[in-house]
Amino acid sequence: MKRLIVLLVLVFTAISARADSAAILVFGDSISAGYGLADVETGWVSLLRTKLHHEGYGYRVINASVSGETTAGGLARLPRALALHHPQLVILELGGNDGLRALPIEAMRANLAKMVSLSRAAGASVLLLGMRIPPNYGPEYTEQFRSTYMSLGKELKVPVLPFLLNDIALNPALMQADGVHPNVLGQPRLLANVWPVLEPLLTK
């Protein structure tokens, strides 16, 4: 009986410690959801979870990414996610689907700004992951889309990774056949792009 009680105490302590540990909320679209991967555990978010553990960080990583998500959809979902997970840090990876659908840049920018504001109001810091799109809708739209992330980061004083798929998007060996999503070989490269801007925001 004593051994059972001790075991239960240890389990409860472990669960409590996990619940009390700081959370990182990855809030993105198919790039972060692991679209097209045979095993989502090979996705960059899962690789991040493993790297944090190996580096001695105690964060929980919650992946609330949804394939096909736009900034408007993300804005609608974010309050519940913040209330549920109480993250210390939100990694915001949205906007790609807005660009692919040629949605208004002003609306995308406003949605991202509101998500930054909501995250901060909930006590979380924010890392913004930027995207780029093919020039299908003309150079003006393409440039406005590209510059939105950096200008928003400067305005709101939010750290920004200018392009999540840097050194990946134009390498067929790292991309799926659709030319949009990184394959399993591209996932470590995604993490390698994110880590230098993420690490300064972490605490042990």
Catalytic residues: 30, 178, 181
User: Nearest to residue 190, comparing CAs of 162, 164, 161, 159?
Assistant: 164
- 24 and 81 in contact (C-beta within 8 Å)? no
Which residues lie below 8 Å from residue 140, measured CB to CB, with a gap of 6+?
none
H or E element: which one contains 25? strand 23-28
How many other CB atoms are found less than 10 A from the CB of residue 151?
13
**How distant is the alpha carbon of residue 101 from its chain centre?**
20
How many other CB atoms are found less than 10 A from the CB of residue 189?
18
- 39 and 74 in contact (C-beta within 8 Å)? no
CB-hemisphere CA count at 13 Å for 73? 17
Whole-angstrom distance, CA of residue 190 vs CA of residue 5: 45
